[in-house]
Structure 1
Amino acid sequence: MAITIKDVAKLAEVSPATVSRVIADHPKITPKTKRKVRQAMEVLGYYPNFQARNLVVQKSKAIGVIMENSTTLAFQNPFFPEVLRGISVSAHQSQYGLYLSTGATEQEIYEEVVAMTQGKRVDGIILLYSKIDDKVMDYLLANGIPFSVVGRPYTRPEAISYVDNDNVAIAKQVVGYLVSLGHRDISFVGGASDFIVSADRLSGYRQALDQAGIPFSPDYVVTQEEMEGHEQQAIRNLMERKNPPTAIVTHDDLVAYEVISYLEDLDIAVPADVSIVGFNNHTLSSHLKPPLSTVDISIFDLGVEAANLVLEKINDGKAAPRNIIVPATLIERGSCQSL
């Protein structure tokens, strides 16, 4: 005979209605009662029919997770598995599943978001990026769909729940660190110029130079667009300038790995000839020779907080937008040296 809610209620010594509320993770049920009911479910081997329940309450119990490009490309970057790990921990605690975007182009991603929200496949959305003039974000805002963003929104940040690092401040700290080592010719190899994180880190770079009394030179800035398909030549051009940089700040550890490889091809040694700092503190970074100086941006925590924010909006449509700044830490390793 199939185990029912009434059987669970009898063993837990609560009402069937309380069991239903525990299954729904109702906030008014005390943690003690939730533990007692869940223990009874486990003892009896009771598994709620979430599909049937979700049809009744018109909830999918799923969160859509939207990447900046296709999953094939995204998972080449260690940032995404780690931020998804953080999202998964929070989602699991609230018995939510994840629905990953698979679109390969901006238009495909937009169409997929519209389909998953209009088709009630998800109850909310997490954007793992923030970029200028993003029609996905515009669509979510215009239609009142619960969502959160990893990154500072390009528009109306006061109206959007988001989690981010203080990318301006940490970039200033990185450049200030290089200045303290005696460097004045400092290059910035950034990400795509339409992404807010790239703009914020470039802003921090410029502010730090200004603070140190070092004139800003556009010649020392290399964007992703300039490098696209011509990465090796872009680094060669940078290092063949009249006053080549003695230090390079890269947008991401992956970019730093590439730059170091191109420098080796040019017989330029790190850190003897040029110091280099990355961002994101990927696992491999501590194992390079020399180990890469980098910024730990607490990727896991970014994922946890992004999920908490969207669940907050899903559970309470009137919840005020919140923004959370997660700490970032400069990690000094062997890829930088004093002049």
Structure 2
Amino acid sequence: MNVTIKDVAQRAHVAPSTVSRVIADNPRISKETKERVFKAMEELGYYPNAIARSLASKMTYTIGLIMPRSAEDAFSNPFFPEVMRGISVVAHNEKYDLLISTSGNEEEEKQAVIDMVKGRRVDGIVLLCSRTTDELIPWLREEKFPFTVIGKPLDSKGVCWVDNDNIGASRLATNYLIKHGHREIAFISGSLEFVVSLDRLDGYKLALEENNIPFDKELVAQDEFSEDGGYNAMMRILKQKKPTAVVVTDDIMSFGVIRAAIDYGLKVPQDVSLIGFNNIPLSAYANPPLTTIDISTFDLGVKSAELLLKNIKNKDFVADHIIVPVKLIERKSCIKR
């Protein structure tokens, strides 16, 4: 026999409409009444219908996650599962579900967001990256729809975002190599369409300038955020220059850089020192174990979800941002010259 709202109301000694308001988390219902209704629901084994709950509260209790690439590509890089783990912990604690959208290109990505917003399928959105030519951010801002970006947007006015100090982090990594006696330092990143790549390139240039080391564009290369991308970028550099060290803005790319160095007859770190980014679990087991910048990926997810939920729950919320600190993890991929 199915338990109904009327059964719960009778057990809790309240009106059925009060039960509906409790399910919708109406702030006008007292804490005592809510506890009595929830106790009755538990005793009777009553589970509110999600659709009815949404109709009552005008909320979906769902957060949309927008992946910047196809599921096959995105989940092959540990950054995305880890940042999603952080988001899911907060969502679970707040009794929110997650709706994940993957896409093959920016057009599909934008259409997915429009479908979520116009179809009222979610209460807010987390964009998992920030592009230099991003159409989603101005569109969401115009719609006045709650959203948070992981990555500082180029135009951050009126936008909630969470990020590291990527200029400072890259400066830290480059200075670490300089202090180890390196001056021929290469820089490998993902595409410069992503703001994170631009910021880390700026940090690299800043460290060179501060140490009176001329910038050499032949020591810089971009490719896909993948092991093959790192391999291809390093091979292009080695055909022109012979760096003694490399800053690589992604640990997965670093594995490809190591492979390229080996194929080129070089040893890491004896011939080429290397520092990566993200401190993914596999970096500790690389050969050699990878010195890297820990960007606290899990915390990026946690803070982005917390910021979004504040936005969802408070109509007068003022756009804010959070900087998550980084730290250098020293292992065995760098040596002094």
| TM-score normalised by the chain length of structure 1 | 0.90
Residue matched to 1:179: 178
Q: How many Å separate the matches in 2 of 1:88 and 1:231?
A: 30
- Partner residue, 1:140: 140
Residue 158 of structure 1 is matched in structure 2 by 157
**Structure 1 residue 309 corresponds to structure 2 residue 300:** no
Question: CA shift at 1:9, angstroms?
Answer: 6.4
Match of 1:248 in 2: 246
One-letter amino acid of the structure 2 residue matched with residue 252 of structure 1: D
Over 3 Å counting, the alpha-carbon distance change for 1:95 and 1:331 in structure 2 is same
Residues 68-103 of structure 1: CA deviation (Å, up to 9, x unaligned):
111221111111111111111111222221111132
Q: Calculate the aligned-residue CA RMSD, in Å.
A: 2.7
Structure-2 separation of matches of 1:228 and 1:284:
13
Matched, 1:84 2:107: no
- Amino acid across the alignment from 2:289: P
Q: Matches of residues 207-246 of structure 1 in structure 2 within 5 Å?
A: 207-224=206-223, 232=231, 234-241=233-240, 244-246=242-244
Unpaired runs of 5+ residues, structure 1, are none
Can you list the C-alpha shifts for 1:280-309, whole angstroms capped at 9, x where unaligned?
111111011210111111111111111112
1:151-176 CA distance string (max 9 Å, x none): 10121x13111111111111111111
Residue 271 of structure 2, aligned match among 270, 273, 280: 273
State the shift of 1:44 in Å: 3.1
Task: Report the equivalent of 1:61.
Answer: 61
Cα displacement (A) at 1:42: 3.2
Name the CA distance, whole Å, in 2 between partners of 1:299 and 1:230: 21
Aligned-pair distance for 1:256?
0.2
**Quick check: 1:102 aligned with 2:102?**
yes
Code of the residue aligned with 2:221 in structure 1: it is: V
Relative to 1, partners in 2 of residues 1:10 and 1:270: Cα closer, same or farther, differing over 3 Å? farther
Q: Is the 8 A contact 2:24 2:53 kept in 1?
A: no
Determine the C-alpha separation between the residues in 2 that align with 1:50 and 1:97. Answer: 11
CA distance in 1, matches of 2:37, 2:163: 37
* Shift in Å, 1:113: 1.1
Listed one character per residue, the Cα deviations across residues 175-196 of structure 1 (whole Å, up to 9, x for unaligned) are 1111111111111101110111
Structure 1 pair 329/22, CA: closer, same or farther in 2 (3 Å)? farther
> 1:25/1:272 Cα in 2 relative to 1: closer, same or farther (>3 Å)?
farther
Equivalent residues of 2:20, 2:56 under 8 A apart: no
The question of 1:204 aligning with 2:194 is answered: no
AA at the equivalent of 1:217 = D
Contact 2:188/2:230 (CA < 8 Å) preserved in 1?
A: no
* Structure 2 counterpart of 1:296: 294
Distance 1:135 1:182, change over 3 A: same
Change (3 A) 1:231 1:302: closer
Please state whether the residue corresponding to 1:314 is helix, strand or coil: helix
Distance 1:32 1:180 in 2: 62
Q: 2:192 is matched by which residue type in structure 1? A: S
How many residue pairs were aligned? Answer: 337
The answer on whether the counterparts of 2:219 and 2:237 sit within 8 Å (CA) in structure 1 is yes
Contact kept? 1:184, 1:246, Cα under 8 Å: yes
Q: What runs of 5+ residues in structure 2 fail to find an aligned partner?
A: none
- Tell me if structure 2 keeps the 8 A contact 1:193–1:224: no
Residues 229 and 256, structure 2, Cα contact 8 Å, conserved in 1: no
Moved more, 41-50 or 61-70: 41-50
Aligned to 1:93: 93
Q: Hey, what's the Cα distance between the residues in 1 that align with 2:261 and 2:324? A: 33
8 Å CA contact retained: 2:21, 2:56: no
Q: Give SS of 2:246's match.
A: strand
Normalising to structure 2: TM-score of the pair? 0.90
Structure 1 residue 198 displacement after superposition: 0.5
Cα distance change, pair 317–34 in 1 and its aligned pair in 2 (3 A)? same
**2:322 aligned residue (321, 324, 335):** 324
